[in-house]
Structure 1
Amino acid sequence: MPWSAVLRGMLAAGPLLAVAVAAGRASVGVVAAIAAMLAGINDRPGGRRVSVRRIGGPAVAGAVGMVVGTAAGAYLGGPGLVAVFAGLGLLAGGVSAVGPVASAAGTQLLVASAVGAGMPLPEPGWVRAVAFLAGAGWLLALRVVLPTPGSFGAGAGDYRFDGERAAVADVYDAVAALLDAVGTERARGRRAALTAALDQAQDVLAGPRLRRYASSAAERRLHAQYAAALPLAEAATALAWAGERVSARAAEGPRRLAAAVRGSTHTGPLPAPCRSVPALRALDDALLHAAEAFDQADGGDLHTRRRSAREVARIVFGGAGREYGLRVALSFGASAAVALALYHAHWYGQHTHWYWLPATAVFLVKPDLGPLASRVLCRAAGTVLGALLFAVLAAVLPDPAGLVALVAVSGALIPVATRHFAAQTAVVTVLVLALVMVGGEPQASVSRIAETLLACAIVLVVGHLPMPGKRGGTVRARLTAAGGAAYAYLAHVREHPEDRARRWVLRREAYRALAEARTAIALAAAELPALARHTEGTDEVAALLERLVDTTTACAVHLDDTGRLTPRHTERLAGLLDELAGLADMPETVDPRGPDRRTLSA
């Protein structure tokens, strides 16, 4: 139960709205509460400093959307407004393909532009933008300043880095879990869990001011502890590749290291594993290195590469960005056109909340929230449940004090409800309907249900429309990146086996790219058959690339110990490269050329 996030949610939207109502500026409070609600959705577990980017970046995009939407609503008619919305959707959709933070920024840009264009507020655009930033900034301040429960206990360390400590400790626990599973069917899943733990720790430590050269002793210690986990992860992966069981003693050392990270204590004596094979010798050496790094705490490299502007542009304008951008543009523009047509036909009566329709379509069209049919059904079910619940509560709660309290309670429930899209939709529906009533409009549960169902229909149609180019662009783009990273990693191990620092950078990049590809493939496979068929066979490619990276890691560990590869290593590499080359009918997915197999044994 994320009690800290629950407390932040309770102290964010509700109190902001209460202060604005008391000051006679309810409309400003509504905008600030909407921003706090969206920031609460992005308030995920992790370090405090990485939350600055995770919450602050989308908030800035939302403020821009508020200004653009307000101006477009004030100066453009129906066709012009639809064109602006479609253009914003194309931009936001393309940018969303870059990553989770960019996706959240694109969402808030579009939602805020719809609210700015349609919500009848007396304030000019810049005031709305300031209120939006204030709402998100208030929750961000709570995230950075408030301590977590138990953070001041004995041995807890600097509470500002509790999220970073937890992420690094999880890496050591994942190494231990993989060592326990070596030689069993669980090893593959445990290796994937280790990749996820390393990705999470790398992201958390790479937050603002947690760069390669840390400024405080606590940061330097965390960097050293993370860097010391990389050779342990490499040795554990090599043991899993070999498939021979190891003693339980091998996993005891990483578990003690995990406890030392969580408690900010010294490691104490670490049990040494048997040094009978190269991978076990590498594990023993890595444990010794970790114990030394923990004591010295002199910092360490995060072993990550930043995306260049050219790489980001390639993603935005590549197949995934184009396909996603077109679908968002069509959904956002079409829903705005339908909403404005209904508004001019007086379908909304005397109230002007037509902006709900395009804002709802924004959430529905996002593929990172689940398969299309699943998220449409969850959105519909959650909206009906939330609207009916609010209708009951609105009949008994006093206005506005009861509604303000309902906003506070809903804000507290958001961190829990984000675990399921239907639950999140229900909570957000209650919160939004309460905000609308505080803003001066009557209870609108029935129209909220109708608009959501209409948005679901629009997104379902757009989601199944044929697009220019080959379908499954996101999956193919992820696989292309994974293939390039896997081959770069193999080439470096073959050509420069002594450069371990560079090797760890490429290894991390290869496994991260594979994890992203696996996620995209699993999501596409869960779609309806009309969409899922466009990515058939990609799971086989990902499995081959995964085995290639695992084998390359085993080769690297063996080269460190003996300086040469065994026939088992070279034959496995050659076989995998041959299998990948046999997939030449999918040239846009992976490059089947790779390193020349004839030079692998040299």
Structure 2
Amino acid sequence: MTEAEAERKRAAPPSWLLSGLRPLSAPIPWAAAVRASIAMAGPLAVGFALDRPAYGALVSMGALSGVIGDTADAYRMRVLNIAVPQLFGAVGIMLGTLVYGTGWAAVAVLTAVGLLSGMMSTIGAVASVSGLLLLLNSVVGAGLPLPDPWWVAPLLLTLGGLFVLALTLLAWPMRRKLPERVAVADTYLAVADLLAAAGTDAYEKRRQAVTQSLNTSYDLILARRARYHGRSGAMVRLLAQLNVVIPLVEAAPAVHVRQSRLPEAIPAAVRELAAAVEESRTGGAEPELPAPDSPATRAVDSALRHAAAVVYNADVDPYNVDDRLGRPAALGVRMRRATRAVLFSRTSWRYGLRLALCIGLAQALTSLVAVDRSYWVALTVTFVLKPDFGSVFSRAVLRAVGTAAGLVIATPILTAVPIGWWDVLVMVVLAALIPAFTAKGYAFQTAAITPVILLLSDVLNHQGVALVEPRLVDSLLGCAIVLVAGYLLWPESWHTRIGHRLANAVTDIADYVAYAFDPGSDGRGGERISPVDQAERVRARRRIYRDLSSVRCEFQRALTEPPPVGTRAAAWWPLVVAVERIVDAATAARVRVDHGAPEPAPEEVAEIQQQLRELAEGLRASEDLVSVRTELPGDEEGVLAPLRQEVAAARAIASPQP
């Protein structure tokens, strides 16, 4: 590297910042863009027509929250994602209105709401968005003079969100079953790609895609089944079709660990099943497959023929369908579990206290210092610090960058466009940019939302371009509060949680190995594993893959942190891959035993368990991986040989440092 190249490298922005500023390669959601334009420009037009522009602006603000929250695919999940948060938003705006202009009382109330909002984030996606709207609307109500009487603002904001929901549901009669069916068909396509990639370097990437697709499909179908309790014939059939793809997924590692390639006829047959699922076709012929020549290919052949029989069968027994993730709990049970998770979880309290501290500081600052449009400081804190939304540091920086870009867009609009009907035309364009830019990344979403909020604020307060400078100053103040009180003061911000989560996954793998090769299961004493136990084994394996998905999410989040956190996170990557390979090897061994390979000795199983538990203990005691060793296991024999090799390789990858 020349001196000039080295100088350019030193002058270039850091990689963690460039990763956030680089637009994602995602398609533009045209339907969502049109829906956003109608939902936000329509109320504004009605407000001007009725000479009530402030009312129209409030309805558009409610629609904005609905547009941001409309992220699901299945319509019933979209109802939850939009409608439930609107109720919490209405409560928030009422709380804020009650403490408007009360000074330190507002500080206390908003701090308490911040605590609750942060704790709610640990429950789930809908609760997280609900907590976000609860806090956001509380801040808006405490910072803006809203129309009297007290119930007008909550009603108008809720109407805006419900208007988005109504527009979303217009296509329900024609497409209400499509998301679930398409999701299952996509899972079959992902499995076909996985089988085609067995024995190649592309296998790991394909396996990750299968895991994500299975998670999505089960989430969609089980969410719908929770309402219909298995009485929907279409959902029972889809669930059966999804269940029978699991043996195919389990058979793939058995082929891959032997570096074997499957004939093209096998993935082609799976793709044909995907088309049958999507088109809801029945009565198809059994696939013509080449004769299997090993336990692994026999497993694939058996699983594929069984999947074809279920996919082409129009009549599925609704009482003989066992979903692989367990039956959804009753609503009351789920609520009790969520309440316990909020009240007794250290993570819940830690997130809540972190958010409450920053909101309290923001409100206290604006109570002591005269800051124009002071509620923007707390709004910025809320958007940046929402703990389940990713890296705090990078979000603070990207929000500042996105806000500056949004102000560049908003300044000429506020300068040249008079308040009135021209605002409606401008809103048509700006609202459509929100879904389009959201798909590109957080900084781009902020750049799209900023001019929309400024335009609506101008309709409410008639301050024009004078809104621009306070908006920038308040956003920078909010980002500074987050960086100091929400990031630097919390030691957990300086460390990754990859090692701890990876240790949990390794412990689960050790338990799975014990269960999969228990002497009382298949092949010992002439006994066969029962269907119930077999389903439990599959659920245990799926839980491991979900654990590994969370590890990957944490890994991606940590990579966006500035050094040294991002650098430390990158060192974990070889071990993450090694643990995933251990799961594949364990699954492959179980499949080979199921199709003719000899059962391993209990002593061999116990030895592998012990090695896995020692690996997990070492990971829990570590913060960083500091040295990589080169010794790798040699060739071994036996059905568990690949598993032993993967465990030994994982233990040889790195030395944890306490």
TM over 0.5: yes
Matched residue, 1:437: 458
**Residue 102 of structure 2 corresponds to residue 83 of structure 1:** no
Contact (CA 8 Å) 2:188, 2:274: kept in 1 or not?
A: yes
Specify the code of the residue in structure 2 equivalent to 1:384.
A
Shift of 1:476: 6.5
Q: In the TM superposition, what whole-angstrom CA distance separates every residue of 1:352-411 from its partner, at most 9, and x where no partner exists?
A: x32111111111113544433332232122211211211212333342212223233322
Contact (CA 8 Å) 2:502, 2:619: kept in 1 or not?
A: no
| Correspondence for 1:23 among 50, 54, 57 | 50
The secondary structure found in structure 1 opposite 2:60 is helix
**Residue 270 of structure 2 corresponds to residue 254 of structure 1:** yes
| Correspondence for 1:296 among 268, 292, 314 | 314
Unaligned runs of 5+ in 2: 1-27, 522-528, 624-639, 645-658
- 24-33 or 193-202, which deviates more: 24-33
Matched residue, 1:155: none
Count of residues in correspondence between the two structures: 574
Alignment of 1:404-553 (within 5 A): 404-419=424-439, 420-443=441-464, 444-467=467-490, 472=495, 475=498, 478-479=501-502, 482-483=505-506, 485-495=508-518, 497-498=529-530, 499-529=533-563, 531-532=565-566, 539=573, 542-543=576-577, 545-553=579-587
Find the aligned partners of 1:312 and 1:535 in 2 and give their Cα distance. 33
Shift of 1:114: 0.6
Contact (CA 8 Å) 2:118, 2:387: kept in 1 or not?
A: no
Matched residue, 1:376: 396
Shift of 1:503: 2.3
Alignment of 1:86-235 (within 5 A): 86-146=111-171, 159-209=175-225, 213-235=229-251
Shift of 1:47: 1.3
Identity over aligned pairs, percent: 33
**Residue 391 of structure 2 corresponds to residue 391 of structure 1:** no
Unaligned runs of 5+ in 1: 152-157, 591-596
TM-score of the aligned structures, taking structure 2 as reference length: 0.79
Matched residue, 2:74: 47
Contact (CA 8 Å) 1:407, 1:435: kept in 2 or not?
A: no
Alignment of 1:51-62 (within 5 A): 51-62=78-89
Find the aligned partners of 1:216 and 1:395 in 2 and give their Cα distance. 56
Contact (CA 8 Å) 2:510, 2:612: kept in 1 or not?
A: no
The secondary structure found in structure 1 opposite 2:192 is helix
Q: In the TM superposition, what whole-angstrom CA distance separates every residue of 1:63-120 from its partner, at most 9, and x where no partner exists?
A: 222222222336xx32232222222222222221333333222222211111121121
- 260-269 or 464-473, which deviates more: 464-473
Find the aligned partners of 1:472 and 1:281 in 2 and give their Cα distance. 46
Specify the code of the residue in structure 2 equivalent to 1:207.
A
Contact (CA 8 Å) 2:487, 2:493: kept in 1 or not?
A: no
- 438-447 or 545-554, which deviates more: 545-554
**Residue 339 of structure 2 corresponds to residue 339 of structure 1:** no
Shift of 1:441: 2.9
CA 1:446/1:160 → structure 2, altered by over 3 Å: closer, same or farther? same
Matched residue, 1:154: none
Find the aligned partners of 1:179 and 1:433 in 2 and give their Cα distance. 52
Find the aligned partners of 1:68 and 1:167 in 2 and give their Cα distance. 41
Contact (CA 8 Å) 2:378, 2:478: kept in 1 or not?
A: yes
**Residue 252 of structure 2 corresponds to residue 236 of structure 1:** yes
CA 1:390/1:437 → structure 2, altered by over 3 Å: closer, same or farther? same
CA 1:228/1:79 → structure 2, altered by over 3 Å: closer, same or farther? same
CA 1:582/1:162 → structure 2, altered by over 3 Å: closer, same or farther? closer
The secondary structure found in structure 2 opposite 1:73 is coil
| Correspondence for 1:275 among 286, 292, 295 | 292
Matched residue, 2:596: 562
Let me know the Cα RMSD of the aligned residues: 3.3
Find the aligned partners of 2:225 and 2:349 in 1 and give their Cα distance. 33
Contact (CA 8 Å) 2:75, 2:176: kept in 1 or not?
A: yes
Matched residue, 2:617: 584
Find the aligned partners of 2:324 and 2:150 in 1 and give their Cα distance. 43
Specify the code of the residue in structure 2 equivalent to 1:296.
A
Shift of 1:260: 1.9
Contact (CA 8 Å) 1:238, 1:554: kept in 2 or not?
A: yes
Shift of 1:191: 0.7
Find the aligned partners of 1:416 and 1:322 in 2 and give their Cα distance. 35
The secondary structure found in structure 1 opposite 2:358 is helix
Contact (CA 8 Å) 1:319, 1:473: kept in 2 or not?
A: no
Find the aligned partners of 1:302 and 1:263 in 2 and give their Cα distance. 22
Specify the code of the residue in structure 1 equivalent to 2:136.
V
CA 1:111/1:246 → structure 2, altered by over 3 Å: closer, same or farther? same
CA 1:411/1:375 → structure 2, altered by over 3 Å: closer, same or farther? same
TM-score of the aligned structures, taking structure 1 as reference length: 0.86
Find the aligned partners of 1:35 and 1:320 in 2 and give their Cα distance. 30
